[in-house]
Every structure is written in structure tokens, then in C-alpha cells.
């Protein structure tokens, strides 16, 4: 059954955006979800369908907002061992391995984290939003590893979505980049939009796009005659745009090692350590890892924070670089 919400705008809410008005009246709904439902023609103001989430309401406006019943979809379970860091009745924290996509999409409907969750416990996942993404509150790229949180019910999903939307979630990544960042510590603040040259890529926008903020600091620099110059960096996300860290590092001219999409041509290094060269040539992913994830538990209000070690193949490269620096 549809859930129909009926509201009347009082004088104190005059000239408020309709998406903000609804989320303030119904704190169990995330603004992202409200926007999507408005765009899908689930809103009437004074019996007229409104598809603009930014429309401002007036005193006395009669609001009818429909929340459709979640669609049922058949997802094939995938027998894949999940690395579960934490679980309770409301959420699951998973340490995602590289090489697996978050959810079904064109070309891969079966071998994803969502399919693995269906195999693990299909009956305890949130079912709001996209029917191909039960439980999915946020995403990390296929060839990125690290921590993600999964919602097991709709209240948790809405609460966590609101935390992501308000940028209160702690998200810390580690990456190995080519060269050295200048300055070594700082903040990158740009717009990020879809690339005009390749629609599968993102790019820094000049006049259009969504605001993207990455705080970074250099942890270690590796530089001598037998290795290319690399820097191990830490990135803290204030926003979570698609490919944000990868785009920002590419924009700085310091691409992430192993990033095939945002790669840059470098001169072949003479006399490079053969073992290091072997590790680098065998790397089938970008050197990017979601190391820390922190948030407020949607039911208890307790602040939770989790940390994940770098995978072995990334650690092997770091060990070799550290040895070469001695």
C-alpha cells in the first residue's frame, strides 16, 4: 500500500523549499529520497502535480505526498564470503574487497555486494530507493577496497542517508599517488561533473557540477634513484561525489597508482627495483582504500567508528618502498 502524507503549510514555513519542508515535517525521510519521489511525480500541492524539489511553498498550501510501496525484484544470490566487521539488528559494516561492484548494473547483474547480501540474509535489508540496491546507503568503487555500511531496515537507511547528506559521517581513505603533493597538507575544493569527453568519467567543472571537498595530508614520501617518486596520503571526505578522490588527485597531477581510468603517462624508470616493478605491474586495482568509517548509530545514538588495515597486495608495495628508502 502507498503511504500518503497530508500536510498544510503554516505561516512560519512560508517560502520554504518543498523538499526541505517535507523532510523537516517527516524526519524519518531523507532529503535525497524526497527529491527523488518529487521528480517521479509523487507530490501534489493544491491538487497540482509538482516535479520541482526547489519549489517554495506558501502559507495555507495543501500538500499531498505519496510514498509508493517498495517494488519487489528478484535478485540472484551470490555465494561470496563477506568480510563482516560489525553487525546488529539495524546495520552491517563490511570490509569490501577490491574487484567486486556494489550493486547490479548493466553487464553485471549477479556478482555484486548486493547479490552476496541476498545470499547472506535477503530478508533483513532496507527496501527503499532503487530496487536493485537493497540495503545500499553509499558506495565505493569496484576496484577500491575498504569499509561500507549496509542498512538492514528502512529507518536505519533513512537515518544513515541523512548523516551522509549532512556530511557528518567520518570517511578516511589512504592512497598511494605518483609524485608529491604541493602543498603536502591541504584542502581541495572544486565542482565535479560528468566528463564531456567520456560519460563514464567525472571531471572538475568550471561553472557546473556538484561541490566536492577533500582534505588531504601526506603521510610518507618515497624518493630515491631506484624507485619512482610516490607519496602515501590520507584523504578525508567532506562530500562524497562519484570518483571524488580519484578526480581530485588527477586534477592535482598526482594520479593514484593503478588507476586505469584516471591514469597519466609516466616516463619509464631506469634501474627500478625488479621486485617493486613486479608488484606494480601485477596491481589490478587502484591503490585506494577506505580505511576509517564513523557514524552515529541510527537507533542507539552511539558514535561508532571502524578501521580497516590495507590489503596485503597494497602493503607489499609499501614495504618494498619503505625498504628502498633506507
Fold category of 84-165 in CATH? Pseudouridine synthase (3.30.2350)
- What average pLDDT score do residues 5-14 get? 94
CB atoms near residue 233 (< 10 Å): 24
pLDDT digits (tens, 9 = 90+) for 44-92: 999 999 999 999 999 999 999 998 876 666 789 999 999 999 999 999 9
The domains of the chain are located at: 3-67, 84-165, 170-324
> What percent of the chain stands above pLDDT 90?
76
Q: Give the rounded distance of the alpha carbon of 9 from its chain centre.
A: 35
Catalytic residue selected from 19, 61, 90, 141: 141
> What are the cell numbers at 34?
524526497
Q: How far apart are CA 79 and CA 97, in angstroms?
A: 15
**Angle at CA of residue 242, ends 90 and 188, nearest 5°:** 110
Active site residue 141: yes
The answer to whether 84-165 and 170-324 have equal CATH topology is yes
- pTM of structure: 0.84
Q: What pLDDT, on the 0 to 100 scale, is given for residue 228?
A: 86
Q: What is the largest CA-CA distance in the chain?
A: 76
Fold for 3-67, please state it.
3.10.290
CATH number corresponding to 170-324: 3.30.2350.10
The pLDDT of residue 256 is above 80: yes
Amino acid at each position: 500500500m502507498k503511504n500518503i502524507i497530508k500536510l498544510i503549510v503554516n505561516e512560519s514555513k512560508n517560502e520554504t523549499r518543498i523538499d526541505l519542508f517535507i523532510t523537516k515535517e517527516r524526519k524519518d525521510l531523507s532529503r535525497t529520497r524526497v527529491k527523488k519521489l518529487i521528480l517521479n511525480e509523487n507530490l501534489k500541492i493544491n491538487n497540482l502535480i509538482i516535479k520541482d524539489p526547489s519549489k517554495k511553498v506558501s502559507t495555507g498550501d495543501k500538500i499531498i505526498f505519496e510514498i509508493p510501496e517498495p517494488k519487489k525484484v528478484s535478485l540472484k544470490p551470490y555465494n561470496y564470503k563477506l568480510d563482516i566487521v560489525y553487525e546488529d539488528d539495524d546495520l552491517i559494516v563490511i570490509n569490501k574487497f577490491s574487484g567486486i561492484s556494489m550493486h547490479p548494473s548493466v553487464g553485471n547483474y549477479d556478482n555484486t555486494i548486493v547479490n552476496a547480501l541476498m545470499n547472506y540474509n535477503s530478508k533483513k535489508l532496507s527496501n527503499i530507493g532503487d530496487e536493485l540496491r537493497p540495503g545500499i546507503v553509499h558506495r565505493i568503487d569496484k576496484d577500491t577496497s575498504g569499509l561500507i555500511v549496509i542498512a538492514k531496515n528502512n529507518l536505519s537507511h533513512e537515518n544513515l542517508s541523512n548523516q551522509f547528506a549532512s556530511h557528518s559521517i567520518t570517511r578516511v581513505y589512504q592512497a598511494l599517488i605518483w609524485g608529491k603533493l604541493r602543498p603536502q597538507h591541504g584542502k581541495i575544493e572544486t565542482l565535479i561533473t560528468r566528463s564531456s569527453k567520456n560519460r563514464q568519467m567525472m571531471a572538475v567543472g568550471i561553472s557546473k557540477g556538484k561541490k566536492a571537498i577533500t582534505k588531504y595530508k601526506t603521510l610518507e614520501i618515497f624518493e630515491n634513484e631506484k624507485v619512482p617518486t610516490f607519496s602515501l596520503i590520507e584523504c578525508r571526505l567532506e562530500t562524497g561525489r562519484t570518483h571524488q578522490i580519484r578526480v581530485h588527485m588527477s586534477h592535482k597531477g598526482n594520479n593514484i597508482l593503478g588507476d586505469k581510468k584516471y591514469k597519466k603517462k609516466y616516463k619509464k624508470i631506469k634501474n627500478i627495483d625488479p621486485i617493486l616493478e613486479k608488484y606494480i605491474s601485477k596491481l589490478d586495482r587502484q591503490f585506494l582504500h577506505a580505511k576509517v568509517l564513523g557514524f552515529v548509530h541510527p537507533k542507539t545514538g552511539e558514535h561508532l567508528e571502524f578501521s580497516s588495515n590495507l590489503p596485503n597486495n597494497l602493503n607489499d608495495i609499501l614495504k618494498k618502498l619503505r625498504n628502498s628508502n633506507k
